[in-house]
Amino acid sequence: MAKSPYITREGWQALDQELKFLWKVERPQVTQAVSDAAALGDRSENAEYIYGKRRLREIDRRVRFLSKRLEVLKIVDYSPSQEGKIFFGAWVELENEEGEINQYR
């Protein structure tokens, strides 16, 4: 089953921010750590090297997923003309019998 291609602006920005962090901050750090561990010599029993390569594969997998996902997602924006309507991403306030107001998204 395909996931919904709709997302709120805040959700899209969070995914985009994660992608940028992984690509510009975390991946270079892990790449440097793997390079340093590889310089120590024997890679077959080098736990730091093995863990670093595994982490690098995880980062690359997540970067590929986020890149592909962000291309197809459609941002749903609120417009003032939609006041009084419930739509994807809207905040809705409900009042129960006791008069308590709960807010949902």
Listed by start position, the domains of the chain span 6-77
Which pair of tokens denotes residue 101? 């107001």
Please give the average per-residue pLDDT across 71-77, as a whole number.
89
CATH assignment of 6-77, given 1.10.287.180, 3.40.50.280, 1.10.10.970, 3.30.365.10? 1.10.287.180
Q: Is the pLDDT of residue 79 over 70?
A: no
- Distinct helix (H) and strand (E) counts, the chain: 3, 4
Query: Which residue intervals of 2-104 are DSSP H helices?
Result: 9-21, 27-38, 47-72
Which of 2 and 23 is assigned the larger pLDDT? Answer: 23
Task: Kindly report, residue by residue over 27-36, the tens digit of the pLDDT.
Answer: 999 999 999 9
Does residue 89 contact residue 12 with C-beta atoms inside 8 Å?
Answer: no
Q: What was the pLDDT predicted at 2?
A: 60
Q: How far apart are CA 59 and CA 97, in angstroms?
A: 49
Which of 24 and 79 is assigned the larger pLDDT? Answer: 24
